[in-house]
Structure 1
């Protein structure tokens, strides 16, 4: 990935795409008062430079059905680089694991996992924690209610620039 200079319009485009990546190029161009070809060129440049990793659809958990979200703290017996890398390499490919963080202080990892039910969690725990002799402690917390979920990353947008979040929070 190449390094590029980012200006306020690039930051505004990134922020707007975080809110709704399905916006048309024409709509984005009009919103930020730039030509459609310029907008397309900027978004392509941001994608090629790695500012936009991927675009995904965020599904409605109500439509998908009952799901159980677990916040899981994992402590390992050995914390050398090889042991940490090995644990991470084993848990990250698992479809139930949505997020994996190495943390400090406290546990070595915090995982966010989504499963259908408690038997699904037990299967996850067996797969990822029980068969690993290096896992010392696992502490799981189960979500009763999701009060907020976002994938948006805060960006340093100038206060003088039109805010993409202000209009959407009022609707």
Structure 2
């Protein structure tokens, strides 16, 4: 759960954020009605949240399976050299691959954990060869393949949005 004190978010802001992370396609009129404010107030607050970078962007969440990219791989990568330059170079290179949906630098274990979305095993093997096998600094790659997605939600737990 995030703290709303540092950003000065009030109950209306939290209700707006809650609604938008459920359905960002709402019109301003519908959003305003659902959070019980005027459309002008709602638009002003959404603009403020965007300018403060609380709302980073609005996207559509697509069905990987229906679009033929049904293989999800969770990949751990350990590098030989972990200097800031080596970490940044690897991070930049893998982040440029469209199949890399998420990339995290982590501590106490591998250097990176990534979520990859590919068409099939052959596509994964090609991507792994391109991203990992060709990099002399990659010491170890450990991959887990999803057999079932039990939950997927990009929503952030917000403080109570009531009041």
Q: TM-score, normalised by structure 2?
A: 0.91
List per-residue Cα deviations over 1:62-89 (Å, max 9, x = no partner): 4213511000000001111111111101
Structure 1: distance between partners of 2:64 and 2:93: 26
Question: Given the superposition, is the C-alpha separation of residues 24 and 84 from structure 1 closer, same or farther in structure 2, using an over 3 Å criterion?
Answer: same
* Counterpart pick for 1:102 among 105, 124, 134: 105
Mapping of residues 88-167 of structure 1, within 5 Å: 88-158=91-161, 161=162
SS of residue matched to 1:63: coil
Structure 2: distance between partners of 1:142 and 1:49: 37
Structure 1: distance between partners of 2:144 and 2:125: 13
* Structure 2 unaligned spans of 5+: 1-5
Offset at 1:141?
A: 0.4
Counterpart residue number, 1:77 = 80
**After TM superposition, what 4+ stretches of structure 1 lie above 4 angstroms from structure 2?**
none
Structure 1: distance between partners of 2:87 and 2:109: 14
Question: How big is the alpha-carbon RMSD for the aligned residues of Structure 1 and Structure 2?
Answer: 1.5
Structure 2: distance between partners of 1:5 and 1:103: 30
Matched, 1:57 2:66: no
SS of residue matched to 2:40: helix
Structure 1: distance between partners of 2:96 and 2:64: 22
* Counterpart pick for 2:24 among 17, 21, 27: 21
Offset at 1:30?
A: 1.5
List per-residue Cα deviations over 1:120-170 (Å, max 9, x = no partner): 011111111011110000000001011110111111225xx17xxxxxxxx
Aligned length: 158
Offset at 1:4?
A: 5.8
Structure 2: distance between partners of 1:121 and 1:98: 13
Structure 2: distance between partners of 1:77 and 1:134: 5
* Structure 1 unaligned spans of 5+: 163-171
Mapping of residues 23-42 of structure 1, within 5 Å: 23-42=26-45
